[in-house]
Each structure stands twice: as structure tokens, then as C-alpha cells.
Chain A
Amino acid sequence: MAQPHWKMAVDVNRCIGCHACSVACKVEHDVPLGSFRTKVYYYDEGQYPKVKRHFLPTMCMQCEDAPCLKVCPTKAIRKDADGVVRIDEQKCDSNGACAAACPYGAIWISTETGADKCDFCSNRLANKMQPACVETCPGDALVFGDANDPDSRYSKYMVQHGKEFTPIKPEAGTKPSVLFRGQNADIEKKIVAGQNHDPHTYEIENWASLKPPGKG
């Protein structure tokens, strides 16, 4: 079989903001409270009565030019041939440089097991299963598959809609493998570079704000 290249497209038009991806991920990987591999951002835009609510599901972007990989002093991070950026738990010393370098807040540090982030559910890929977030998504907003296989759901979706998909935070220059369409232009500002998704961003007081939340 040909070497797969795993990619994801997030069709935000189909997202209902339900957090199923985030919870499926936390159950799958036993991610502790306060840390996230996958998180959904909310942004309320406009003034009454013309108000819209925007969602943005995010995860590791599996960058082609991954800054986490470049800064890792113990060379624990690699980009594999299947396109997935993976962390070697044995080589990681929890120094945190990777988390600080990530523009997408995708990496959290466990003092027990090292750096951790989305790896497209590699344990599931190994058993021919879709990532947990993709499988559960009620709106089919997360489109995943092998970009090398023209019959994959991802490839077919991109043939039809590919021109409309772009990375978020393109100015970071990391060439993400996860692309988006339909998202509000400003909502990505809620993601703070260099720190894992702040759980306080979802507190309702912060829905209408693009600034990082103050705690408490």
C-alpha cells in the first residue's frame, strides 16, 4: 500500500459548536482537566439585534514547517512520512520549548509524561479508525483522510471545495496540514501563541472578546 499522508479540513460552516470533538479527545487520551489537545472557541460578533455566534474547533495543525520540532532541545519531536508530527515520550524532558514555540496553543506539558498534543489519534489510525474527533462530529465538519488517496473523503472534499480552504494564522509561516473554511476572520486571535489553550477562554464573559482572558 502506498504511503498515506494524513490531512484534515475543518469546514466551520458545518460546525455547531457542540464540543463533542473536544470531549471525545479528552476521553480517548485521558487528557487532564485544564489541558487540551482539541478545543472549540466561541466568538459573539455584532450588536443587538444583529448578532452572530462563531465557532472554531482547533487542534495540532501538523505543520510542514513545525516550529515545535525545530526548537526541541532533546530532538523528541519528529515529522513522520505520513504527515503527522509526533512526540517521542522517551526523549522528552518536559522543558516546554515546544509549547512556547507553537502559534496554535496545541501543546500541553505533563510533568509526568512530557509534552503532549494531537497526533491525529495515531493509536486509532493504526487500527484503521478515524481520529476520535472526526468520528463523533455531528455536523461532519471535520473532514479527514489520506491526501495521497484520491478516493479518500478528504481528497474528494478538497477536489470540490479545496480552493476555499486556508490555514489559520498563515503569518506564522508554519505551513499547516489542517485547513479551514467558513470561519470568522478574527476568531483565530483568541488563540494565544506559546501557551496551551486557556480553559478560561470559554467562560461566557469572554465570548464577545478577542483578547486573552484574565483569570478569575
Chain B
Amino acid sequence: MEKINRRTAIKTGLGALAGLSVGELIRLDPLMPGEAFAKAGDVVRNRPRRRIDYSKAKYVTSVCLNCSTVCGLIGTVIDGKLVKVAGNPNDPNNGFSLCAKGQASVLVSEYPERLLYPLKRAGKRGEGLWQRITWEEAHAEIARRIRSAMDQGVPEEVAIHIGRSRLGEEFGRFLSAIGSPTQLNHRALCSSAKRAANYISLGETDWETIDAERSKYFLNFGSNFYEAHQGAIHLARRVVKARAELGAKLVTFDVRLSNTAGRSDEWFAPTPGSEGAIALAMANVLLAENLQDSKFIATWCDLSEAEIRAFVAPYTPEWAAKESGVPAADIKRLAIEFGRAAPTCAAFTNRGSDAHYNGMHNSRAVVMLNAIVGSIGKPGGYCYGEEPRVPAFFADVEPRPPRPTRTSVLENPPEYPLANKWQRMRVGQLVYAYLKENRAKIQVYLSYTLASPTTWPEGRSLAVDVLKDESKIAFHACSDVVYSETAHYADMILPDAAYTERWGFDFRNNFALRRYVTLRQPMQKPPGECLSFADSLINIAKRLGPDVAKYYPFDSHEEQMRMRMQKHVFPSGENGWDFMRRTGVWNDMEQQTFHELYNWELTAKQLEGAKLDEATGFYRKAGADGVERVIGIRVDGKARRGFPTPSRKFTLRHPDLIEAGNKVGWPDDGLPRHVPIPAHADMPADRFHLVSFKWNVHTQGRTAPQKLLTEIVHDNPMWINTQTAASLGIKTGDDVEITTYRPKGATYQPTGEKVGSAVVRVVVMEGIHPRVLAVSNSLGHMYGGRAATAKSAPRGTNPSYSSDPKTEDSDLAERVWWDKAVGGKGAGFNINAILPIQPSPLVGMQGWYDTTCTIRKV
């Protein structure tokens, strides 16, 4: 680190970036006493009434990324500036509709505290002192360090760790080009249990696509899709329609009255992690009442009806009532209602049932209900499509680098053999733990809008310790839009283009049950020197020598995207590049919908060169790589697609599960079953379950700087049940000390010991299980600007912000009414800091909702 003359004038604050010259220093840590900026800021008082003049508007399609639901957008652009967004009606999932987060897309480009220039650390890591550098310097230094790791023969010590990016293909290309497998993510903090359960059961894909607008009955185990489920709005608008127009019924199991639970026809609060027990008992009832679809089971399940009856026999409603606290009579009644609605019914899950030690098992038991009643793939039932992907005619530019041969324990931890079985979901919450234990090291760590100190379990302790430790992470460059906690601990900050300012393909499971793809394109130019991280990687790759540069026959991400699209010409004569930029979405309207995908007959082309194995009924065919694979199964005398599982059927006893269990010494019989959560067995009477949750206006880490969302929710007192609070003498507004404990069983650090304590304010609520406490996971930011940190002040008088009036916002200067200094509730509390790392057995899904705790009134 070069020596800094401390007497050099140091500018302070993100706003000062607007006037920062190359070589100048700036202090960005608002918690550190900085020298006050020379002049007090002028608040822009003149706020003329704005009426968007749509007669002057240009419209640009793009894709939202303010959550993982990725809705199609149409941006209204006037004089080069994005002023408003609407849903893109060509998008089959959202149409015109957008949620509050989608509507706030305009704010993402407008942060007055936006990172504008590349910065290099000028003090100690985490001190918050930065020097402006050029992109030339930034890319050259990153390239030098990566080349060094490659020359040492350890390219796996170069890692990219991503938050939600939708640039996975681009990151994979870069890492493959340098020979590193170490592409790290956050899927295990999000949804790996649910995805594993769908792969085990269906084989085809990780995410179901309920044919909700034709459905009559929804059994929802722990999904808060009115607010936060991936694909939330896509599912919610269809469920609302089915309820309003078809009289469909919605039943929700959730430990807390989410908006989904609060608007359901019936709500039940089960013991956390008991959802699988309820589903198994429902399976028992369905078969006892002969509500099964015997033909579907005989044709399409790997087990016979008799075998299913036998394994669900012990799971009676009375047993499940003991496990879950949900009355046996209700379990029986709901199972019968569900069975009678078949096949226009769907039972499904999300994080409420899945973010547990037994989450994958819970989810499998729920998915099984659809198979028993034969709603799999049926109109109005539990449908799914092919794995969504960019269509082959938009394939990436050749030559493409081969897959790396090196391995990394960070990317593929052997303790979790199912984490990477079907897709590379990985176990992201272990990255910092394994670095701390010296199971791996990192020479170059490229983080991308990760916010791990805020969003990771033990983020403010373990993640920060490791991020600060140069012996664990030798060099860290952080690409981000705002000064996040990850950026604070980096060595270099790469100011990113916001999602409204960059390129990329996108897609999700499509509720129209068709193939499709969307294009994210810039709706306006990024401010300052902001540059899409995809462009940074191209620039870096080109500096790494011909062996890497040969995979980059393009100079920018835009050029790469153009090369991918323009070679394809649609029947209308329009090429893909022009078509996608104009419409934003390609929908395959020629295919049949994905209903009953397993029942599709193989085409003559698919059967060309295929061999039928008479013993199993499997059709096998050699792929382009010469390896023979099963492509279908003979059913009713016809060659059909089937389920791409080892049995080619809907799978209830999965051999991979048995094998994985044996491998790690955690035996599994391969069947849906109830796995008791070890830390919950014999829980002392003074212990509570502690869960977290998401609001409809926030994601976990990135929305708090957006003033119009944070105006709605900025504070997160801990929910406690009315009766429980009364018994402890606690009332709304009281502070309590909460102490959390580590898990037990087959997980990381299963000691049961104390993790940490914190003082939190409580809110007494009727809508929560009496033994559960709940705190939202989106708030309590230390950085991210005035909206996120609840500080209402002109930038000029706050040592962190500049006095440049051009980029000042009178809202943030004067009207952050949730600032405690003006009688507001403040910016909330970060609960993740005291939640332990607890990956579930086999899959590695974070047990966000398994934590136990004690509380004490302060």
C-alpha cells in the first residue's frame, strides 16, 4: 500500500465523488470521524411539480432486477433519462404489472450516494479511506494478480462471488477462460432445498410452474408469494384471478401471518419445520379416503400404490398433529378438500418449509401430494416446464472456453454431496468459514453486489473477520452500485452499472408454460464512470494474455450480446438483435404448452438412432459427446419423454439420496420422510424459535437505499405473540435482549453453544405462533445512504456527503421522516448477524428458520 500523506486534503462522503479527481483521496465510512467538507450543502429547494410529458417519451424494453423475479419492463425515457417504468406486456409472466420494487427501478440509477469512479484502498482494510484511480489502473492491477495466480498453477484461487446478477453465463465464461471453477453464489441461502426436492421428484427442473389461473385449490406450505417468493407477482396475480373468478381456495401454513397468510381462506401456524409431517399425514389421508389417482400412480410413479400406502401408513393425522400443533381434524379435512379438487389443485412450498434442516424432505413430501392425486402437469395442477435457458439460436459466442479441471472446496464442499448434483447450487454460507479454517485460500476475490456482511448468517462477525484478513483473501475487488458493507472491506471498488443501465439475457419459469427469453438492455447511460461488471471482465480478460484473450473476440458486453443475437433471423425477416431490442421478449408460440410434459411423445427426430431396452422400457441414445443417455420411456406402447429421473418416473425412492446419505454417514432411505430437527427436540421451556422474513417492498440486501421503498418499511421490530408477551410482561416498544444458539445434528458446528446476543425492540402481534419470534432480514444497514440509514441531513453538513447541489435530493436532505432525530423509528436491526451458519444435511440449504433463542426483558 502506498504511503499516504495524512495532511493531504481528504474529501469525505459518497456525494463528493462527483467532484473527485484522479489521485484524490476520499473518506467514505460515515462511522469514522472525517474532516468536514469545506462548504455546507445547498439543498435544492426548488422542486417544481413534475408531469411526465409522454408525448416526448421514448420507450425502451428491459428487465427488472430489483428482486429475483425478473419482470419484463418498458422504460419511459425522456432526454436520455429514465423517468418511469411499466411492466412489458410481451412478458408472459408479469404483463403490465409490477410490484413496488419494480416501480422503484427508476430510483436505482438516481442514488445521490451512487458510486461513480473506481477507487483503491488508501488506508487499512475497513478504514474507509479511498483514492480515486482510473479504470486502466483498476483493470491492470486485477489482471496482474489473476495472471500471477494462473502462473502459480492455482487459478482456483481466483473467485467470483455473486449476489443476484443474472450474469452467471458471463462470469462462468471468464472463470473458465482462466481455469478457475470458483464461481460462488448464494443459492443455498435462498432456495436449494426446494430446488433439490423438485429435481428428486420430477428430474426435469428445479422450480414448479403451477397452472394457477386454472386451479381451484392451493395448499401453500410456507410460501409468502403475495410478497416475496421468487416469481411472487407472477404466481400471485394468477392466484388472485383464480380466487376471484373461479372461487379457488387458498390455504397457507406459515409460522407468521405474512400477507399471503393474512389473505388466505385459512391460515395455520405449524411448529417450524413440521410442514413435511403435515404433508405426509395428508398423503396418508388421501390414500385412506381413496382420493388417489391410481392410474397416474401405476403409470408414472416409481413405487406402486401398495408401496406408497405402506410407507405413509405410520404418518397418521394424529401423529402429525403432535409434531406440528395443527389439529388432526383440520389436516384430514384439508387433505380431503385437496383430493376432491384434483386435478385442478396444487400443493407447493418455499422458504417457510424449506429453510430448515429437513427442508428438502419437507418439500419432497409436499410435492408428493400432487403425484398422489394426479395433478402433476395437468391443467390447473402442479405443472412445470423444461429447464428455462437462453434458446440455442442465441448461443454464446465461439470459441467458448472448456470447463475448468481444477477443483475448489469453496465451490464444491464434499460434506454436501447433493449441493451440486443437479445444478451448481453450492453452499455459499460456508465460504468464509472454510477460508477461516484454511481449507482454501483466495488470491483474488471479485465480489458482485453481494452484501455478505449484511445478508450472510454471522455476516458481521465471521464474514467481516475473513474479509478483513489479508492472509485469507489477499485481494478483494468489489463491484457495486452503492457503498455497501462488502465494498467497505474491499481493496478496490468497481462502480457498477445498475441493472437499468446494462445488458443481459434473462428468464424464469414461464407461467404461460412455454419457452421464452427476455433481454435486459440499458434504458439510460450509467452516470460518472460506472461500468457494467461484465465489461470490466472483458477488459481484464484481454489483459491476461492470448491464452485467455482468445475467448474474447468482442470488445464490450454490448458487442457480445449483439453477436449472439444478430446471427439469428426470425421468419419475419427481422434479426434477433433488432427483434429483442424492439420487443424485449421472445415467446415460442409454436410449441404446445408444457402441460403433462412427461407424457409428450418423442419425435421421430428424437428417436433417430435411439435404442429401446425391452427390460426397462428405456430409450437410449448417444449424445454429441458419444455418451449414451436415457431420453424416454415406453408407456402405453408409445415412446414418451417421462421424468428425467433414474426411474424415468415421478420418483419417491431416489437412489442418489441413498448413495449421498451413505457417503456422508447420514443414512437416508430415499423416501419422503419426516426428519426431526435435532435442535428442536427437547427444546428447553425458555427457548423460542427465531425466524426471519422478507417484506413486500424489500429484498434481503439491496433495496434499503431506495427511498420510496424504505419510506414504507424502514424498521423491523421483533414480532412476538400477544399471549407470550403477556406471560413475559413484555409490551410493544420494549427492548429485549435476544441470545441465539448454534444448531445440533449433521450440520456445521453443531455444538448448541451461544452464537451472540443483541438488544431488539419488540412489537406484540396476534399473527404469530406463540413459540416463534420473527425479525425481517432486510434492514439495519450501516451504509447505503441516508434512506437506508435513516439520516435526514443535507450532504454538506454530514461529513459523509458532498455539497454538490446538482446531485442533492431534498427528500434525503429534509424529509427522511423515519430518522430518529425527527421522531421516527430509525433504520431497523440486522438479525443475520446473530443467526448461525447451519447448512442442511446433503443439500446444504441454510436453516434460516431453525435457530433457537432465549429472550430477556432489558
Contacts and interface: CB of A to CB of B under 8 A. Distances in A.
Given A44-B262, A135-B86, A139-B240, A20 B99 contact: yes
B721 A48 contact: yes
Given A20-B103, A129-B54, A132-B84, A48 B766 contact: yes
Contacts of A132: 84
Interface string A38-63: 00000010111101110100000000
Nearest to B762: A205
B708 A48 contact: no
B525 interface: no
Contact of A112 (B47, B86, B269, B723): B47
Interface stretch (A8-16, A68-76, A168-176, A186-194): A8-16
A150 B707 CA distance: 41
B715 interface: yes
A49 B244 contact: no
A138 B103 contact: no
A169 to B, nearest CB: 23
Interface residues on A, range: 35 or more
A205 B713 CA distance: 12
A28 interface: yes
Contacts of A199: 711, 817
Contacts of B54: 123-124, 126-127, 129
Nearest to B86: A135
Given A139-B236, A140-B241, A20 B49 contact: no
B709 interface: yes
B516 to A, nearest CB: 19
B100 A23 contact: yes
B816 A27 contact: no
B49 A116 contact: yes
A190 B404 CA distance: 61
Interface stretch (A29-37, A77-85, A96-104): A29-37
Contacts of B244: 11, 13-14
B823 interface: yes
A136 B708 contact: no
Contacts, number: 180
A215 B819 CA distance: 12
A33 B259 contact: no
Nearest to A141: B240
A113 interface: yes
Contacts of A16: 226-227, 236, 240, 259, 263, 696
A20 B233 CA distance: 11
B46 interface: yes
A64 interface: no
Given A123-B53, A140-B241, A19 B696 contact: yes
Interface string B345-367: 00000000000000000000000
A51 B715 contact: no
A27 B816 CA distance: 16
A112 B46 CA distance: 7
B241 A20 contact: no
A122 to B, nearest CB: 8
Given A23-B708, A113-B48, A49 B268 contact: yes
A22 interface: yes
B96 A135 contact: yes
A203 interface: yes
A151 interface: no
A213 to B, nearest CB: 11
A202 interface: yes
Interface string B243-278: 110000000000001010111000111000000000
Contacts of B605: none
Given A29-B50, A44-B766, A48-B721, A140 B240 contact: yes
B330 to A, nearest CB: 11
A20 B267 contact: no
Interface centre among B52, B87, B107, by most chain A C-beta atoms within 10 angstroms, is B52
Contacts of B259: 16-18, 53
Nearest to B711: A33
A51 B45 contact: no
A85 to B, nearest CB: 16
A126 to B, nearest CB: 8
B106 interface: yes
Contacts of A52: 262-263
A203 B267 contact: no
B815 interface: yes
Given A19-B696, A34-B815, A127-B55, A44 B257 contact: yes
Interface in B806-847: 810-811, 815-817, 823-825
22 contacts: A18-B100, A19-B99, A23-B697, A23-B708, A24-B98, A27-B103, A27-B106, A33-B707, A33-B708, A33-B816, A44-B767, A53-B261, A53-B767, A55-B263, A116-B49, A127-B54, A132-B84, A135-B87, A135-B96, A138-B233, A204-B715, A215-B823
Given A129-B54, A135-B86, 17 more contacts: A13-B243, A16-B696, A17-B226, A18-B259, A26-B708, A27-B107, A29-B51, A48-B766, A51-B766, A52-B262, A53-B261, A113-B48, A123-B54, A138-B94, A138-B240, A202-B713, A215-B823
